[in-house]
A and B are shown apart, each in its own frame.
Chain A
């Protein structure tokens, strides 16, 4: 009976309170975008890029807070400065990846170091840690503005249209860049726009789970879905499903227990990942045992070795 009352009060809060509606819309849309784009990031083995961009975005947010709060410049919401910085960080990564052709991964620590150093400097100049900085670090989905919701809706629509329009090109580039070049696809151009879009999603996701947890929204649902999906499309859809379950459960639990929503969303993602890994392990062992108990004693050859 108590659970029903809690669920009813959660639903009533969503219906009656605009901040809950904003949080729900933002969470659901980021819950679609993050694993969708995250899938392509994981395929290209660039999982660290989201972390790098979120740290560079924090530099923009810190600089924004410094200019607005200390110098009193009318620059609006620091989040927009964070978005600009995320895009600059993305371009910097691309430039460094072209410069160090054989050591492309070098770009990440360089950009993440620059972002963290700038953040530390401007947070200090702005008077140290305060509520705004804490919200940027760990997210504050319950405080998103109506204007922010509109931006998320527009960006989600644009990205979904772009993915649908260039689905073939994006998938080929992600799985096999060399073959994409052979087919005459302008890989460099696609990569440039993909990185800019990724930067925008990262900076917008900061509102949901914060700088320190952004990459988890993109990577963890995909990591879990990879072990369940049988095809590319089903894997992406399962990742979005896992992500949405985490967002909704995270919002609900944070409402009931008054705990941080960002952390709850991420922890729920981890619970799903662990459940998938453990259940696969149990089912796999059971299947081998059922099919051929003798093979349990010997190690199985890798399938790719057989022709």
Chain B
């Protein structure tokens, strides 16, 4: 999915969080969004997801103004925390995935996805009995249930052990190689063993945008 952001500024009440952000991502690009706490990373993500309402003409998804964009099933999202999810009421992994699936993803594809995520054996488990790492993989699988063309991951490896982090980035890289546009929010790029093509460093709402293909990334990130 192609993304165009044109001179976007956004704030809450009297506080401006994002200042004149502009960038373009082509289908299959991989953007890593870095910055300190409060730099505006999550605010930008919420703008891209249509949660934060931005003025018309600021964000285009696949050439369509975000206000007219309808194909939200093609946008997968893994939130930073799963606090929005109402836990404790029993629900199995399979039930979560089945109610999230609105596209023509058949059962075999779903099982393949679960296998790829390493949680095939957990499909009939109550999510309240899963560990943090397992839960994170369930929510990533949920984000993939409708064959997304854009996957936005907001600090997805926070609190996950190293072994699972490596496995996670392998999956993300594979998806990117298949043409899925990825936006990964992270504190830094050091732990991200990714195929990143672009890095955006947000600092107090202003963006320093680096195309990894053009610049020597290793020097920039040091």
- A167 is an interface residue with CB less than 8 A from chain B: yes
A184-B73 contact in complex given A175-B86, A307-B132, A307-B160, C-beta closer than 8 Å:
yes
Residue contacts A-B, CB under 8 angstroms, 23 given:
A45-B86, A167-B99, A168-B98, A168-B101, A172-B99, A174-B86, A175-B91, A176-B85, A178-B79, A178-B84, A179-B100, A179-B142, A182-B49, A184-B72, A184-B73, A226-B89, A230-B90, A231-B92, A234-B90, A303-B129, A304-B135, A305-B132, A307-B161
Q: How far is the CA of A184 from the CA of B100 in the complex (A)?
A: 11
Question: Looking at the complex, which one of A39, A44, A183, A234 makes contact with B102 (CB distance below 8 Å)?
Answer: A183
B10 at the interface (CB under 8 A from A): no
Interface centre among B91, B92, B146 (most CB of A within 10 A): B91
Q: In the complex, what residue of chain A is closest to B163 when comparing beta carbons?
A: A307
Contact A226 B90 (CB under 8 A): yes
Contact B90 A229, beta carbon cutoff 8 Å: yes
- Do B86 and A176 touch across chains, with their CB atoms under 8 A apart? yes
**How far is it, in angstroms, between the C-alpha of A306 and the C-alpha of B160 when the chains are bound?**
9
Neighbouring B residues of A39 by C-beta, 8 Å: 89
> Smallest CB-CB separation from A44: which chain B residue?
B86
Chain B, residue nearest A171 (CB): B99
**Do A43 and B131 contact each other (CB < 8 Å), given the known contacts A168-B99, A183-B73?**
no
Contacts of A177 in B (CB 8 A): 84
Known: A168-B99, A184-B73. 14 other contacts (CB 8 A): A171-B91, A175-B91, A176-B84, A176-B86, A177-B84, A179-B84, A182-B50, A182-B72, A183-B73, A231-B92, A232-B91, A307-B159, A307-B161, A307-B164
User: A230-286: which residues lie under 8 A (CB-CB) from chain B?
Assistant: 230-235
Distance between B26 CB and nearest chain A CB, rounded to angstroms:
23
Task: Decide yes or no whether A42 CB sits under 8 A from chain B.
Answer: yes
Instruction: Tell me whether B28 is interfacial, beta carbon within 8 Å.
Output: no
**Is there a chain B Cβ closer than 8 Å to A146's Cβ?**
no
Closest to B77 in A: A182
**A231-B90 contact given A172-B99, A182-B72, CB 8 Å threshold:** yes
Residues of B within 8 A of A (CB): 49-51, 70, 72-73, 75, 77, 79, 84-86, 88-92, 95-96, 98-102, 124, 126, 129-133, 135, 142, 146, 159-161, 164
Known contacts A42-B89, A183-B100, A235-B90; is A306 also within 8 Å of B132 by CB?
yes
| Assembled-state Cα–Cα distance A141/B150 (Å) | 55
Chain A: minimal CB distance from B64 (Å): 14
Q: Given A172-B99, A183-B102, A232 and B90 touching (CB < 8 A)?
A: yes
List residues of chain B with CB within 8 A of the CB of A43.
86, 89
Whether, in the assembled complex, A12 has its beta carbon less than 8 Å from a beta carbon of chain B, the answer is no
Does any Cβ of B come within 8 Å of A289's Cβ? no
Query: A residues within 8 Å of B by Cβ?
Result: 39, 42-45, 167-168, 171-172, 174-179, 181-184, 226, 229-235, 303-307
Kindly list the 6 A-B residue pairs having the minimum CB-CB distance in the complex, ordered from nearest. Answer: A307-B133, A184-B72, A232-B91, A307-B132, A168-B99, A178-B84
Cα distance A306–B100 in the bound complex, in angstroms: 26
Give the contacting residue for B75; candidates A171, A182, A230, A305; CB below 8 A.
Answer: A182
In whole angstroms, how far apart are the Cα atoms of A167 and B160 in the complex? Answer: 33
CB closest chain-B residue, reference A167: B99
Smallest Cβ-Cβ distance to B69: which chain A residue: A184
Which A residue's beta carbon lies closest to that of B88?
A: A226
Rounded to whole Å, the gap between the CB of B48 and the closest CB of chain A is: 11
User: In the complex, A100 Cα to B115 Cα: how many Å?
Assistant: 44
Task: Give A274 Cβ to nearest chain B Cβ, in Å.
Answer: 20
Question: Which B residues touch A172, using CB under 8 A?
Answer: 99-100
Given contacts A44-B86, A176-B84, A176-B86, contact A231 B75 (CB under 8 A): no
Per the bound structure, the CA–CA distance linking A195 and B161 in Å amounts to 42
Query: Given A184-B70, A231-B92, A232-B91, are A304 and B132 neighbors across the interface (CB < 8 Å)?
Result: yes
Inter-chain CA distance A184–B61, complex, in Å, is: 15
Q: Compute how far the CA of A226 lies from the CA of B91 in the bound complex, rounded to whole angstroms.
A: 10
CA distance A44 to B146 in the complex (A): 25
* Chain B contacts for A174, CB-based, 8 A: 86
Closest chain-B Cβ to A221's Cβ sits at a distance in Å of: 14
Q: A172-B100, A179-B84, A183-B73 are in contact. Are A303 and B90 (CB under 8 A)?
A: no
CB-nearest residue of chain A to B160: A307
| Minimum C-beta distance from B32 to chain A (A) | 21
